[in-house]
Structure 1
Amino acid sequence: MIELVIFDCDGVLIDSEPIGVEVDRVAMAALGLPMSEQEIVERFVGLSQGAKTAALEQLLGRALPADWWEEYRPLHTRLTEERMTAVDGIAEALERIDLPSCVASNSSHRWLRRGLGLTGLYERFAGRIFSGAEDVPRGKPAPDLFLHAARTLGADPARCVVVEDSPHGLSAANAAGIPAFGYTGGVNSAARLAGPGRVLFDDMRELPKLLEEHVA
C-alpha cells in the first residue's frame, strides 16, 4: 500500500525547467562561463540555489556575492509570467490519483507558492509543501528532504513513492530507500534518469496506472 506520493515540483508539476535553463544561460555567459542549454541541464538542473552557487564558485575559482542571482530575477520573473504552464498531463493525472500526496522540491517556499499558484496547483498541495532550500540542512541529492516529508506526514518511507525528473532527485529517493518514478518528458533524457529501482515514463497520464501497478 502506498502511504504517500511525493512529487518534485519543477519539471514534474510545473513546466519551469526550460525557463530556468534560459535564464541560467544568460547568467553563465555574464559570469564568463558560456554554456549550452544541454550543459546547463547536466550541471545544474535539480540542484538547490546554494548547491548551484557552490558549483559555480568551483568552476570560476572565486566566491560569488550572496545575492549574485538577483540581477537575473527580473528576467526570470518576466519569462515566468509569459510562459509558465503546468506540465502536460499532470492535471489529468492528479485527478485520477486517489492517494495522499505532497510536494518536496529543492526550490524555496517563495518560488513554490509562485509557480504552483500560477498553474492553479497550489491549493491542491497547500500545507504539504516542503523546501530543500529551507526545511532541511541538505537538499537533494541528499535524502533529507524526502525523509522529512514522510516523517512530517506520518508515512513510512518504505511505503512512499517519489516522482522526479532529475538525476539529483532520483538519487535522493534511492538514498532514502524510496521507490522512484522518473519522468522523461522534460529536459532530462531517459539515459540520464535510468538506474536501479527506477521506473521511467514519458507521459504524465501514465502515472496513475503505474502507481496502481506498483501497489499490485
Structure 2
Amino acid sequence: MPADYPDLVIFDCDGTLVDTERISVRVNLQLLNEVGGDYTEQEIRELFVGASLETYATLVEARLGKPLEADWIARWSTMFRSICERELEPVDGIVEALDGIAETGVALCVASNGMRHDVIRNLSQIGLHDRFDGRIFSATDVAVGKPAPDLFLHAAADFDAAPDRCAVVEDSVAGVLAARAAGMVVYAYAGGMTTAERLAGPDTHVFDDMRHLPALIRETWSAAVVG
C-alpha cells in the first residue's frame, strides 16, 4: 500500500455515495407530520440522517407517544422507492473521488446502517455497485449499528486491516461518532444534509467537495505519518 495512504477506505452509502438523504428527509417530513409528529426539516436532519432503524423507531414513537403502525415501514419504503426511481443520483463528485482513490490501489468497501438489499439496489441504480461488489457491509452484520463502532470494526477485520490504518468517509453525526469510536480517521462530507459544525471534532477532516477527497486523504495521512 502507498505509505501516504490508509490500508482501507470505508465509505458510508446514503449521502456519501448515493444522494438518498435529501429524499429521505422529504419522505419523513411528509409522513411523520401526517401522523402528528410535527417535525421541522431541521429536526429531521439532525435526528434521523444516518440513524439506524431501531434509533429511528425509538425516537419517533417517543415523540408520538405510541407505537408506529404495523405497515409504517412498508408505507415509508414505497414512497421512498417511488421517488428514488425517478430522482436518485450519485453524490456530486463521488465518481471522480472513487477514481482518484482507486488509482492508489487501496482497498475500498461500503459499511452502511441501511439494509444490504437497499444498498445494493441503490448502488446498482446509479452505476456504482460493481466498484463494491462483495465488499458491502450492513448493520444487519453486527449486533449494534452506528453510532456504535461495531460495523466499521467488522469491515476492517474482514480486510485484516488495523483500525488505525483505516479511513472512513461519512456524512452523518452517527457515522462520524462510530468511526471515531472505532479508532479510525474520519473524512466527514459536509456537502449534504449535515453541517460542518456538527461533523467537526477529533480525528476528523471536514470537507465539502467529493472531488477533493483523494488529495485530502493523501495530504492529511502524510502529515499524520510525519507527525
User: Normalization by structure 1: what TM-score?
Assistant: 0.96
C-alpha change, 1:54 and 1:66, in structure 2 (3 Å) is farther
Match of 1:146 in 2: 152
Give the letter aligned to residue 130 of structure 2: E
Question: For 2:181, which of 172, 175, 183 is the aligned residue?
Answer: 175
Mapped partners of 1:103, 1:18: distance in 2: 20
Report whether the alignment pairs 1:21 with 2:25: yes
Shift of 1:166: 0.5
Distance apart, 1:67 and its partner CA: 3.9
Q: Secondary structure at the match of 1:86?
A: coil
Secondary structure of the residue aligned to 1:5 is: strand
120-129 or 23-32, which moves further after superposition? Answer: 23-32
Instruction: State the Cα distance separating 1:37 from its structure 2 match.
Output: 1.4
SS in 1 for 2:141: coil
Distance 1:111 1:85 in 2: 15
Alignment partners' CA distance in 2, 1:54 and 1:194: 26
Of 41, 45, 69, the match for 1:41: 45
What is the rounded CA distance, in whole Å, between the counterparts of 1:149 and 1:53 in structure 2?
26
CA distance in 2, matches of 1:184, 1:159: 23
CA distance, structure 2, for counterparts of residue 55 and residue 179 of structure 1? 29
Please state if 1:70 is matched with 2:74: yes
Shift of 1:65: 4.0
What does 1:1-216 align with in structure 2 at a 5 Å threshold? 1=3, 2-97=6-101, 98=104, 99-132=106-139, 134-216=140-222
Aligned to 1:162, what secondary structure does the other structure show? strand
Secondary structure in 1 matching 2:18:
coil
Return 5+ residue gaps in structure 2 as ranges. Answer: 223-227
Q: TM-score, length-normalised on structure 2?
A: 0.92
Letter in 1 for 2:126: T
What is the CA–CA distance in structure 2 between the aligned matches of 1:194 and 1:204, rounded to whole Å? Answer: 17
TM-aligned CA deviation for residue 48 of structure 1? 1.2
Counterpart Cα distance in 2 of 1:31 and 1:161? 40
- Paired AA for residue 72 in structure 1: W
Q: Structure 1: which 4+ aligned runs deviate by more than 4 Å? A: none
What amino acid sits opposite 2:183 in the alignment? G
**Which consecutive residues of structure 1, in runs of 5 or more, have no partner in the other structure?**
none
- d(CA) in 2 for partners of 1:64, 1:36: 19
